[in-house]
Chain A
Amino acid sequence: MIKTLIIDDEPLAAGIVKEYLGDFPQFEVVEMCQDGFQGLKAIQQHQPDLIFLDVQMPKITGFEMLELLDEPPAVIFTTAFDQYALKAFDAKALDYLLKPFSQARFKQAIERFLEMGEREHDAEENQALGQLAEKSNRLVVRVKNDIKIIPVQEVNYFEAEDDYVAIHTSGGKYLKKMTMKALEESLDAGKFARVHRSFIINLNGITGIEPYERDTYLVKLRGGEQIPVSKTGYARLRQVLGL
């Protein structure tokens, strides 16, 4: 049996997926979830092979939910918004069903899943996650079994830690699996600056800049932290701050 999860905040919309899926007896719907939080729990619990995912849902969006997964299953997006198609493609979604969709179109998506087989998507999907860059004013992270939503303006600075980025806020430190490049692209360039290969700082929190070694500087932040600034980082900083 292929374990399938349907995540959609509209019961009727979830129902139609289930109805269409009735034509394929090898699929088993393990649960129907109404938001991303429930979806996340269900994914951990059932380890489904395929999820049908709505984008616009209460609390967190479908994309944000995917970001929190270390090994996401194959995903078929179902949404009435066509503007997410490109992003879904970036997220290596298997397919993108625009509501309302026909049974024939649904069948195509299922066939695509069956053709692809299990082995391919695992590797591919994992790799895609880091690149989910989008201008966003909040970050969604997982703290053990909880989900934390951090408005970006509350972040003091970001620090690279291997495959993760450490998010430093006044309330503590959080880890999120993503690349510095993707993060930098998702942030407002007028509010954050990448001052170093491993650091992005919130410009609001700067209290002072002082020379350190040759061609490098130290930025002091409100919380007392001292962040190293590289030569190129300093040039960038001067530009954004208009020095």
Chain B
Amino acid sequence: MLTNAFSNPKWGKWIIPGAGLAWSLGCFLLQIQYGLELEVAGVDSFVFGLMLMVGLSVIHSMFGYFLPKKENLGQIFGVPLMLSVLGVVGHRYLLAWWYADEAEYLFFLEKTVYLREAMLAGVEVLWAMLSLLASRLEDQNQLNQRESQMLQLSKDAELAQLRQQLQPHFLFNSLNSISALVASQPHKAREMVLQLSEFLRGTIRKDSKSWIPLSEELNYLRMYLDIERVRFGHRLQVDFEVEPELETVKIPQLLIQPLVENAIKHGLYGMTGSVRIDLKCERQENYLALEISNPFDAEAAVPEGTGFGLSSVERRLYLLFGRKDLLSTEASDGLFRVTLKIPQYQ
């Protein structure tokens, strides 16, 4: 809105009346110079100023709220032109009726119609353009604001994610496993050091906003699961079921990981005996659909997490796609199932 152009918003509402006043004053002075009577010149310019104000208000409320699309950008000219014609014609007939017996003034009125039309149209078109520009700028501003907010949030998410992935217990337990392996199975110990390093490197990837191929994310998950497998022996069984042509599909990175971690937390840390975690990935119309399922024990003593798992994914999905219906969970028959849908725009 153009009325928001001033840093002090109180001034904004005076733009239109101010323009009307200046306009009337200018016309009044011109008409005095031309030789019209004071009273006639006053009424004429007052009405003309009023017409301008009406025109400006209409344009302002039109383009302040609705941004014309590219194909009807003609409205920028069309609407002010129409309004100016209405204003001039209205002014002409109103004053011709009011001063019906002033022949000299009527002549003047008739003569100046085109001049008035040109002036009024010029000003109103200019006003329309300004209004449009102001709205555009404002929109852009809002967009920038939203973007920087989103950037901040995703930064927070990444930080929290980092904190969560570096969950000290995971790190220390892994180190403990390495310590146990060093003496008896040095090769395996080295392998685990490498896996752990790769995993840690993955968690500090710089850009959490970038999209990476599904295969890359899955490799990262496999690494994480391999580490858990070393820790828990063959108690953990993981099954990835991914259609091969989906491997190249791009997804936001580190989006699936918290879900798998959640599955591990409830499935592996909370259960005894062998545990099977399934990850299924398929294309559903315009979505990449992912399903992760794990057994769970409703009574298990699950370690208090940072509470960041599912809700973080939900929040990131909202930030990325502006939707809250992409993540759903379901618990039945001792099986916990989480479904994630990632929109694909190809």
Residues of A within 8 A of B (CB): 9-13, 15-16, 19, 34-35, 37-38, 56-61, 64, 80-82, 98-101, 138, 149
Contact = CB atoms under 8 A, between A and B. Distances in A.
Interface stretch (B15-23, B66-74, B165-173): B165-173
A81 B305 CA distance: 12
Interface in B248-282: 269-272
Nearest to B181: A12
A138 B128 CA distance: 68
A80 B176 contact: yes
A99 B176 contact: yes
A19 B272 CA distance: 24
B231 interface: yes
Contacts of A138: 299, 301
B172 to A, nearest CB: 4
Given A12-B231, A19-B183, A56 B177 contact: no
A149 B299 contact: yes
Interface in B151-181: 168-169, 172-173, 175-181
Contacts of B181: 12
A56 to B, nearest CB: 5
A80 B271 CA distance: 19
Interface of B: 168-169, 172-173, 175-181, 183-184, 230-233, 269-272, 297, 299-301, 303
Contacts of A12: 176-177, 180-181, 230-231, 233
A56 B170 CA distance: 12
A111 to B, nearest CB: 21
Contacts of A19: 180, 183-184
B231 A58 contact: no
B297 to A, nearest CB: 7
A87 to B, nearest CB: 14
Nearest to A98: B172
Nearest to B230: A12
Leading 6 A-B pairs by shortest Cβ distance: A80-B172, A16-B180, A100-B176, A99-B176, A12-B180, A100-B179
Nearest to A37: B272
Contacts of A15: 180, 184
Nearest to B233: A11
A81 B177 CA distance: 15
From A57, A80, A81, A138, name the one whose CB has the most chain B CB atoms within 10 angstroms: A80
B169 to A, nearest CB: 4
Contacts of B176: 10, 12-13, 16, 80, 99-101
B169 A80 contact: yes
A9 B184 CA distance: 19
Given A10-B231, A58-B269, A59-B301, 7 more contacts: A11-B232, A12-B233, A19-B183, A57-B301, A58-B272, A58-B300, A149-B299
A44 B120 CA distance: 100
From A35, A59, A64, A101, name the one whose CB has the most chain B CB atoms within 10 angstroms: A59
A100 B183 contact: no
A150 to B, nearest CB: 9
Contact of B172 (A11, A61, A99): A99
B299 A34 contact: no
A34 B233 CA distance: 12
Given A12-B180, A19-B183, A100 B300 contact: no
B169 A10 contact: no
Contacts of A35: 272
B334 to A, nearest CB: 14
B84 to A, nearest CB: 68
Given A12-B180, A16-B179, A19-B180, A60 B172 contact: no
A58 B179 CA distance: 23
B305 to A, nearest CB: 12
A59 B173 contact: no
A99 B176 CA distance: 6
7 contacts: A9-B272, A11-B232, A38-B272, A56-B303, A59-B270, A99-B175, A100-B172
Contacts of B270: 58-59
